[in-house]
């Protein structure tokens, strides 16, 4: 599998990289099919927003062209892009002459069991809460210890994903997915202004649902809203949509709107 | 300056390291003088606590022996230790067979102006708030974007440090230091159960102050407590103690207890 650093084959980086020292950077996990990049513009948009908020001097045109070339070589699988603030001396202060490092590594198409999307999954109730940090909310930055802790909470393969809540107990997202509910025909997904990663698949689903005439709302959801939902599903850029059919003592059917949205996305990641 | 990885000279690491991918690891910044390590046991203790809470399979005896050997080679300066969960495949789940990577890099003694400890410093009021995450509070882990953002808020060299508060506005620490107040002869420092890094110098100061008969309390402080303090100072393992003499429109004298504590620490980092 190919690995590139700053556009050239290489698979090691200096220990002075600020991505390692402080998690000072961003990442994207990108589906590549037949050499083409799914949701390229959305990945670029989230990167641009992240670079703006972290004040990373990232050459977005260069990132795009490297991504396209990398996808051409990878053909099929996952392209993981990491951008960091590059090398730094001691200390948190960003170097005035920072030069971002761009790391691309290829992996195979993730081998999730087809039953996850066909029959739905059981959701694990993570005890790890997401801290509220509006300055970082929505970004796919490299500070991901909360996800590491949450994913460590269960080994049981019967649970394919875990629910993460904020410190007020509000459901926010999955450990590596975003969360949607359907209630009275309306599509609801948690606001990600205080915590959570604003997924590219979440954005795509919202746009396509609205275009299809579905009422959509981005809101603060309570735990009770989750339990009272008619349909629940998770999504990300790699697997598309997984219906949630079990959570603690609750069960849901795979819902009609969930099924329709799954069908509306088959062009993206051949789910 | 020496750089070692896993005990051998090397200065690059694989892009698959989870320290880079997720900030999945810990660090220590350690003062080395005449080949000896200041506060070694406290650094080891914080590492042990971090490894326990992050469930890192870290060989602490090996870390200690590498640190001692590295300090012998460095002689004088800063030894920065980074430990990560080692290499990982895609995904947040810690590998069952994780092998921690240990990275040691040497730097010169930091060149802070002597007036910082002699005359005191002006403190910048950072707008970046510390998010509350009890599962990570106190640890010196690699997720440090909040400190990067906070340190980016000012360039004015008149401010040597910045104050970080939590989302309730409570003063917690400096960007790279811990915070102490003196009020009515009592030494107060914020509790670090929801956010902040539990510094080794903070622990050393508390222990020595108690031994010297000073009344000490670790408490939740309000912003008003800071403004009403008789003395304010910051500390860390590299510079010892900096008195705070100015913050916004407030001024403090360099206080008597602050001076006494500075004198009580001169054996550690020749401040
Ligand atoms: C924490 C978190 N939230 C949400 C998502 C979904 O994002 P995307 O749709 O961009 O894959 C991910 C993806 O890995 C994630 O790690
Ligand atoms: C965020 C933060 N708080 C506190 C400290 C002080 O810790 P120590 O006394 O261990 O140097 C540091 C040191 O760099 C730090 O980065």
pLDDT grade, residue A5 (50/70/90)?
very high
* Chain B residues close to A5, C-beta within 8 Å: 15
- CA nearest ligand 2 atom 15, residue: B176
Quick one: average pLDDT of B53-79?
98
pLDDT in tens, B12-63: 999 999 999 999 999 999 999 999 999 999 999 999 999 999 999 999 999 9
Whose C-alpha lies nearest to ligand 2, atom 16? B176
Question: Which of residues B53, B81, B107 is at a domain's end?
Answer: B107
Q: Report the CATH number at residue B61.
A: 3.30.470.10
CA A239 from chain centre, in angstroms, equals: 11
- What percent of chain A lies above the pLDDT cut of 70? 100
Indicate which of A57, A82, A145, A168 best probes the interface with B, i.e. most B CBs within 10 Å of its own CB. Answer: A145
Note whether B90 and A81 are within 8 A (CB).
no
Q: Indicate yes or no: CB of B90 within 8 angstroms of CB of A15.
A: no
Chains A–B, number of C-beta pairs less than 8 Å apart: 165
B14 CB neighbour count, 10 Å cutoff: 14
Same domain, residue pair A139 and A261: yes
Average pLDDT over residues A73-81: 97
**Same domain as A68, residue A40:** yes
pLDDT at B90: 82
| Mean predicted confidence (pLDDT) in A75-84 | 98
- The pLDDT tens digits of the residues spanning A107-153 come to 999 999 999 999 999 999 999 999 999 999 999 999 999 999 999 99
Q: Are residues A212 and A263 in the same domain?
A: yes
Confidence band (pLDDT; 50, 70, 90) for A77? very high
In the sheet with A8-9, reading across from the earlier edge strand, the strands are: A8-9, A3-5, A101-107, A77-84, A25-33, A36-37
* Residue among B242, B241, B256 at smallest CA distance from B205: B241
* Position B137 confidence tier, pLDDT thresholds 50, 70, 90: very high
All residues of chain B having their beta carbon less than 8 Å from the beta carbon of residue A82 are 15, 20-21
| Catalytic positions of B | 29, 140, 173
Residues spanned by the domain of B15: 3-107
Query: pTM of this prediction?
Result: 0.97
User: Which band of pLDDT confidence, cut at 50, 70 and 90, is reported for residue B89?
Assistant: confident
Identify the domain boundary among B85, B107, B129.
B107
For residues A88-107, give the mean pLDDT: 95
- The pLDDT score that the predictor gives to residue A218 is 98
pLDDT one-digit tens code per residue, A196-233:
999 999 999 999 999 999 999 999 999 999 999 999 99
Whole-number Cα distances in Å, B269 to A133, B27, B76, B174, B205: 35, 19, 11, 19, 13
CA atoms within 13 A on the CB side of A143: 26
Going by C-alpha positions, the residue among A108, A46, A60, A61 that lies closest to residue A80 is: A108
What DSSP assignment string belongs to B200-241?
HHHHHHHHHHHHTT--EEEEPPPHHHHHT-SEEEEEETTTEE
* A257 lies in the same domain as A127: yes
Residue by residue, DSSP assigns chain B as: --EEETTEE--EEETTBHHHHH--EEEEEEEEETTEETTHHHHHHHHHHHHHHHT----HHHHHHHHHHHHHHH-SEEEEEEEE--B--SSSSPPTT---EEEEEEEPPP---THHHHH-EEEEEEEEEEPP-TTTTB--BS--HHHHHHHTT---TTEEEEEEEETT--EEEESSSEEEEEETTEEEEE--SSSSB--HHHHHHHHHHHHTT--EEEEPPPHHHHHT-SEEEEEETTTEEEEEEEETTEE-PPPHHHHHHHHHTHHHH--
**Residue A134 and residue A213 share a domain:** yes
CATH of the domain at B216: 3.20.10.10
- pLDDT tens digit string along B219-270? 999 999 999 999 999 999 999 999 999 999 999 999 999 999 999 999 998 7
Work out the pLDDT band at B158, boundaries 50, 70, 90.
Answer: very high
Place of tokens 């495949």: B89
**Cα–Cα dist B200/B140, whole Å:** 10
**A135 & A259 share domain:** yes
Q: Are residues B200 and B84 in the same domain?
A: no
Supply the pLDDT for residue A136: 98
**Residues B87 and B134 both lie in one domain:** no
Asked if A18 contacts A25 with a C-beta cutoff of 8 angstroms, the reply is yes
Report the domain count for chain A. 2
pLDDT at A269: 80
Residue B121 shares a structural domain with residue B241: yes
Q: Would the CB atoms of B20 and A11 count as touching at under 8 Å?
A: no
Of B105, B128, B143, the CB nearest to A23: B143
A167-206 pLDDT tens trace: 999 999 999 999 999 999 999 999 999 999 999 999 999 9
* Domain match, B63 and B162 both: no
Task: Report the alpha-carbon distance of residue A157 to residue B37 in Å, rounded.
Answer: 46
Asked if A13's CB is within 8 angstroms of B15's CB, the reply is yes
Residue B59, Cα to own-chain centre: how many angstroms? Answer: 22
In angstroms, the CA A12 to CA B12 distance is 6
3-class DSSP string for chain A = CCEEECCEECCEEECCEHHHHHCCEEEEEEEEECCEECCHHHHHHHHHHHHHHHCCCCCHHHHHHHHHHHHHHHCCEEEEEEEECCECCCCCCCCCCCCCEEEEEEECCCCCCHHHHHHCEEEEEEEEEECCCCCCCECCECCCHHHHHHHCCCCCCCEEEEEEEECCCCEEEECCCEEEEEECCEEEEECCCCCCECCHHHHHHHHHHHHCCCCEEEECCCHHHHHCCCEEEEEECCCEEEEEEEECCEECCCCHHHHHHHHHCHHHHCC
Among residues A110, A58, A56, the alpha carbon closest in space to that of A79 is found at A110
Chain B residue numbers touching A89 (CB-CB < 8 A): 107
A119 and A250 co-located in one domain = yes
pLDDT above 70 (res B271): no
Compute, in angstroms, the gap from residue B271 CA to the centroid of ligand 1.
47
Query: Considering chain A, what percentage of its residues have pLDDT values greater than 90?
Result: 98
Last residue in a domain, options B54, B73, B107: B107
Look up tokens 């948190």; give the residue: A92
With CB atoms and an 8 Å threshold, state whether A24 touches B148. Answer: yes
Residues B16 and B143 in one domain: no
């Amino acid at each position: 599998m190919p690995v590139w650093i700053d556009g050239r084959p290489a698979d090691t980086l200096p220990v002075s990289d600020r991505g390692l020292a402080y998690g000072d950077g961003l990442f994207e996990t990108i589906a590549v099919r037949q050499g083409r990049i799914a949701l390229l513009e959305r990945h670029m948009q989230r990167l641009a927003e992240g670079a703006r908020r972290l004040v990373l001097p990232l050459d977005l045109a260069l990132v795009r062209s490297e991504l396209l070339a990398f996808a051409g070589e990878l053909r099929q699988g996952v392209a993981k892009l990491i951008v960091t603030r590059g090398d730094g001396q001691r200390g948190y202060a960003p170097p005035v002459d920072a030069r971002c490092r761009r790391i691309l590594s290829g992996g195979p198409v993730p081998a999730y069991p087809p039953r996850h999307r066909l029959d739905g999954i059981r959701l694990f109730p993570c005890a790890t809460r997401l801290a509220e940090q509006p300055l970082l909310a929505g970004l796919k930055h490299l500070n991901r210890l909360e996800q590491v802790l949450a994913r460590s909470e269960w080994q049981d393969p019967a649970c394919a994903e875990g629910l993460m809540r904020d410190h007020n107990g509000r459901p926010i997202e999955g450990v590596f997915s975003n969360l949607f509910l359907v209630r009275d025909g309306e599509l609801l997904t948690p606001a990600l202004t205080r915590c959570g990663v604003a997924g590219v698949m979440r954005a795509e689903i919202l746009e396509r649902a609205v275009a299809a005439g579905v009422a959509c709302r981005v809101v603060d959801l309570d735990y009770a809203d989750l339990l009272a939902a008619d349909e629940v599903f998770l999504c990300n850029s790699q697997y598309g949509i997984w219906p949630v059919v079990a959570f603690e003592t609750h069960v849901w059917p795979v819902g009609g709107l969930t099924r329709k949205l799954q069908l509306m996305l088959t062009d993206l990641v051949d789910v």
